């Protein structure tokens, strides 16, 4: 019987942890501020250099999601490289600054790994959100956190979008993912959510140190939720105001399987609106407050099992 | 043995239900919109006229708490009657409009009862918030809701502030209270919170109809939480940023008794900060997101039992 050799992957020399990409998602804001304190900046013995930053300082200052436009939709190739007029939104300028600092996106100069910290009002536990379901680095870090934090509900979400069209800050690193933790109201800090994020980031750093220093990580299965579609709230034809909320039987049940005919919304006059789709899918981002303006009441995903190979860092000669 | 005669109180001819005093507290916004629909405006047989309105339409439009300043702090005598300069905050003008419509505060022309609808991110269930602990109308309505909605945690909060200094919208009615329901993130609607508010408002309307048509309401005890003081988060001396969150043992435990020496905060580096007061008090508005800017991490109250007398509407001759 043949044992597969571990896949050899390049060292992760430069890692970035970003908070405040949305200025009112406060766990990441306070965690990055804490990590930036001089007494916490001592090297942890790992060979990776760690860059920490607040992505949208103006929005953080105002405790709003963004100032002019959603920063975390500004990292497409088109927005980063198109012409920028004088009166362009602040976030477009800031996206280009961040691309210079951490990218350029798609280049050899880009940082090796970006972990971008987010909160959601949805009851999603701790999620990794990434554009690839075969980025072994992200998937191994996810497996490591699952093992280290067995009491924290944890899922891996895959947005099936091409590199060119990927739009979020983490897409400018060679590897990258958003660490999304909820439920927490925006503009609020809850200890348990903050602590989960702090532990998650520490375990990620430990994993990177261990990987760089030559540990072999055994492969295995990971359940991946691949985004299929978004569903909007029922709305008034004229005013576009929503006319229903998430049904109480679905609220807070992120990652449950939603079957055709099951309750989806409850109108403000009390009627139930059922899910009309013809495929059972997994619901997530249920009632994320910041998505009302995007026309998203919840997202739906298909689940499948991905087998992750064992990995090992490349030696200097291989690089 | 002498049986006390019911206290006779004037008819409640004009009742106002207000939503969107804070534009991102959405249960009240959607409930008022629903109640304003032509098909829902048919008279319910009660003799009271019902006025429904969105208090801060500009903030509702933007889905923010306020545009320039907190509307619900603008109803003091000083702010309503002081000089208004050209560039004064929008909310000061709006407060005066509302005072003309529903007041004037302290006058015979004021509406008889104002119920102002609010949400909180704190886990407070359904609360009445009022400036009096001997307003028998408000206390009887509260008792009625307690009886009709036995599964909803319900408390009566008393802010011990003089009429002159009372600052909130409900203070311009002859009787008034805020109906505060949580937990719900601001900018979000949750079905269960919306439904509790809808039922609460309907039971209030039923009670007013019944009172006006001559029902006698038996007296009895009510537990009243009288606000004693607010407690701020620990903050950095220089930046004024908060340096700790509510301790996980206290978070979401609104109306628990906080004893001296018990955990109050957890700093972002993980240490516990204990409650230093010398009196055990009841904690509420724990981690209300909109109060970070006001320097309030939680409020503390004393609980006492108030005996409410039986009441009966005055006859026409008595009025």
**CATH number of domain containing A61:** 3.40.630.10
CA nearest to B4, candidates B222, B310, B211: B310
Beta strands at A14-19 and A113-119: parallel, antiparallel or unpaired: parallel
What pLDDT is recorded for position A104? Answer: 97
Which CATH number is B234's domain given? 2.20.25.160
Give the Cα separation of A161 and A139 in Å (integer). 17
Asked whether the beta carbons of residue B268 and residue A194 sit closer than 8 angstroms, the reply is yes
Domain-embedded: residue B271: yes
Q: Which of B191, B248, B287 sits opposite A251 (nearest CB)?
A: B191
DSSP string, chain A: -PPPPPEEE----EEEEEE-SSTT-HHHHHHHHHHHSGGG-S--S-SSEEEEEES-HHHHHHTSS-SSS-GGG--SHHHHHS---TT--HHHHHHHHHHHHH--TTSTTS-SEEEEEEE-SS--EEEEEES-S--HHHHHHHHHHHHH-TTS-EEEEE----TTT--SGGGGSSEEEEEEEES--TT---HHHHHHHHHHHHHHHHHHHHHHTT--B--EEEEEEEEEEEEPPPB-TTT--B-EEE-TTTTT-TTPEEPTTSEEEEETTS-EEE---SS-EEEESTT-GGGTTTT-SEEEEEEEEEEEPPEEEPPTTT-
Is residue B318 in some structural domain?
no
Give contacts of B33 with chain A, Cβ < 8 Å.
241, 268
- Cβ of A121 within 8 Å of Cβ of B31? The answer is no
Tell me the pLDDT band of A68, cut-offs 50, 70 and 90: very high
DSSP string computed for B189-258 = --HHHHHHHHHHHHHHHHHHHHHHTT--B--EEEEEEEEEEEEPPPB-TTT--B-EEE-TTTTT-TTPEE
ipTM: 0.94
Does residue A317 lie in a domain region? no
Instruction: Identify whether residues A114 and A185 lie together within a single domain.
Output: yes
To the question of whether residue B22 is assigned a binding role by annotation, the answer is: yes
Q: What is the dihedral of CA A128, A130, A136, A139, to 10 degrees?
A: 10
Question: How far is A192 from A23, CA to CA, in rounded Å?
Answer: 20
In this structure, is residue A15 part of a structural domain? yes
Residue B4: its pLDDT value, please? Answer: 74
Same domain assignment for residues B162 and B210: yes
- Give the single-character DSSP code of B44: -
Question: Which residue from B36, B199, B26, B42 is spatially nearest to A244, judged by alpha carbons?
Answer: B26
Please tell me whether the peptide bond between A104 and the residue prior to it is cis, using omega within 30 degrees of 0.
Answer: yes
A40 and A119 in one domain? Answer: yes
Token pair for A263 = 């309750």
Distances (CA, A) of A253 to A122, A232, A239, A286, A298: 9, 17, 29, 8, 11
**In the beta sheet, which residues pair with residue B175?**
B113
Per-residue model confidence (pLDDT) at position B3: 62
pLDDT value at A246 more than 80: yes
User: What value does the mean pLDDT of chain A take?
Assistant: 95
- Number of Cβ within 10 Å of residue A46's Cβ equals 18
Whether the CB-CB separation of B13 and B316 falls below 8 Å is answered with no
Q: Are residues B169 and B38 in the same domain?
A: yes
**Is residue A188 domain-shared with residue A257, that is, in the same domain?**
no
Full pLDDT tens readout for chain B, 319 residues: 456 789 999 999 999 999 999 999 999 999 999 999 988 876 555 556 999 999 999 999 999 999 999 999 999 999 999 887 888 999 999 999 999 999 999 999 999 999 999 999 999 999 999 999 999 999 999 999 999 999 999 999 999 998 889 999 999 999 999 999 999 999 999 999 999 999 999 999 999 999 999 999 999 999 999 999 999 999 999 999 999 999 999 999 999 999 999 999 999 999 999 999 999 999 999 999 999 999 999 999 999 999 999 999 998 766 6
Q: Are residues A39 and A186 in the same domain?
A: yes
Residues A258 and A283 sit within 8 Å (Cβ to Cβ): yes
Please give the pLDDT value at position A1.
47
Q: Please name the member of A34, A242, A287 whose beta carbon is closest to the beta carbon of B269.
A: A34
- For residue A277, the enclosing domain spans 225-306
β-partners of residue A298 are A231
Structure tokens at B201: 């408002």
Cross-strand partners of B9: B313
Mean pLDDT of A153-176: 95
φ/ψ (deg, to 5) at B94: -65, -40
Contacts of B292 in chain A (CB under 8 A): 63, 187-188
Tokens of A187: 């503009």
Q: How far is A93 from chain B (nearest CA, A)?
A: 24
pLDDT in tens, A32-48: 999 999 888 765 555 56
Establish if B79 belongs to a structural domain: yes
> In angstroms, rounded to a whole number, what is the distance separating the alpha carbons of residues A232 and A227?
15
Q: Which residues of B touch A240 (CB under 8 A)?
A: none
**Active-site residue, from B91, B165, B180, B317:** B180
Q: What is the mean pLDDT of residues A256-275?
A: 98
* Residue B238 annotated to the active site: no
Q: How far apart are the first and last CA of chain B?
A: 30
Distance (Å, whole) CA A126 – CA A222? 15
Question: Half-sphere exposure of residue B283, counting CA atoms within 13 Å on the CB side?
Answer: 29
> Which residues are paired to B55 by β-bridges?
none
Phi (first) and psi of residue B196, to 5 degrees: -60, -40
Query: Do A288 and A149 share a domain, yes or no?
Result: no
Residue B41 CA: distances (Å) to CA of B15, B37, B52, B209: 14, 6, 10, 16
- Same domain membership, residue B50 and residue B85: yes
Picking from A289, A290, A297 by the largest number of B CB atoms within 10 A of its own CB, the best residue to mutate is A289
Shortest CA distance from B194: residue in chain A: A268
- Any known ligand binding at B158? no
Distance CA B122, CA B154 (A): 13
Residues B234 and B243: beta-carbon distance below 8 Å: yes
Query: What would the mean pLDDT of A246-263 be, rounded to a whole number?
Result: 98
3-state secondary structure of B24: coil
Tell whether the model's pLDDT for residue A70 goes beyond 60. yes
Same domain, A179 and A298: no
Cβ contact B290–A187 (<8 Å) = yes
The partner residues of B157 in beta bridges, in order of sequence, read: B129, B225
- In this structure, the answer to whether residues B211 and B237 fall within a common structural domain is no
Query: In the predicted model, what is the mean pLDDT of residues A259-270?
Result: 98
* Residue B108 counted as domain residue: yes
List A132's β-bridge partners, or say none: none
Residue B176 lies in a domain: yes
Residue that is last in its domain, among B190, B217, B244: B217
Distance between start and end Cα atoms, chain A: 30
Give a yes or no: residue A158 inside a domain.
yes
Domain boundary among A196, A217, A238: A217
Q: Which residues does A contribute to its contact with B (CB < 8 Å)?
A: 30-31, 33-34, 40, 63, 121, 183, 185-192, 194-195, 241-242, 245-248, 251, 266, 268-270, 287, 289-290, 292-293
pTM of structure? 0.95
Q: Are residues A288 and A142 in the same domain?
A: no
Instruction: Considering only the beta carbons, identify the residue of B189, B266, B289 that sits closest to A187.
Output: B289
How far, in whole angstroms, is CA A293 from its chain's centroid?
Answer: 19
Number of domains observed in the structure of chain A? 2
- DSSP H/E element including B146: helix B136-148
Are both B14 and B120 inside the same structural domain?
yes
- Domain boundary (B217, B251, B286) is at B217
Task: Encode pLDDT of A108-148 as tens digits.
Answer: 999 999 999 999 999 999 999 999 999 999 999 999 999 99
């Amino acid at each position: 019987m043949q044992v597969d050799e571990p896949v050899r992957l390049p060292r992760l020399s430069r890692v970035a942890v970003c908070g405040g990409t949305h200025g009112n998602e406060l766990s990441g804001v306070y965690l990055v501020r804490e990590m930036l304190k001089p007494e916490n900046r001592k090297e942890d013995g790992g060979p990776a250099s760690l860059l920490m930053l607040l992505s949208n300082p103006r929005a953080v200052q105002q405790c709003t999601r963004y100032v002019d436009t959603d920063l975390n939709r500004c990292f497409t190739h088109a927005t980063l490289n198109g012409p920028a007029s004088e009166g362009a939104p602040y976030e477009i300028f800031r996206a280009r600054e961040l691309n210079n600092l951490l990218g350029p996106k798609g280049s050899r100069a880009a940082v090796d790994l970006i972990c971008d910290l987010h909160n959601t009002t949805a009851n999603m536990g701790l999620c990794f959100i990434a554009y690839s379901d075969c980025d072994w680095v992200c998937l191994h870090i996810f497996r490591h956190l699952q093992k280290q934090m067995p009491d924290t509900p944890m899922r891996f979400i895959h947005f099936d979008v091409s590199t060119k069209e990927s739009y979020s800050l983490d897409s400018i690193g060679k590897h990258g993912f958003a660490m999304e933790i909820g439920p927490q109201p925006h503009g609020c800090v809850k200890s348990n959510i903050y602590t989960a994020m702090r532990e998650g980031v520490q375990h990620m750093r430990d994993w990177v140190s261990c990987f760089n220093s030559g540990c072999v990580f055994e492969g295995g299965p990971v359940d991946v939720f691949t985004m299929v579609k978004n569903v909007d709230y029922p709305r008034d034809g004229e005013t576009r105001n929503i006319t229903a909320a998430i049904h109480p039987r679905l609220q807070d049940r992120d990652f449950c399987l939603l079957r055709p005919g099951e309750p989806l919304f409850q109108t403000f006059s009390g009627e139930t609106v059922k899910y009309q789709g013809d495929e059972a899918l997994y619901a997530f981002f249920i009632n994320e407050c910041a998505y009302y303006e995007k026309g998203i009441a919840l997202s739906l995903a298909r689940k499948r099992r991905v087998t992750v190979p064992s990995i090992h860092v490349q030696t200097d000669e291989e690089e």
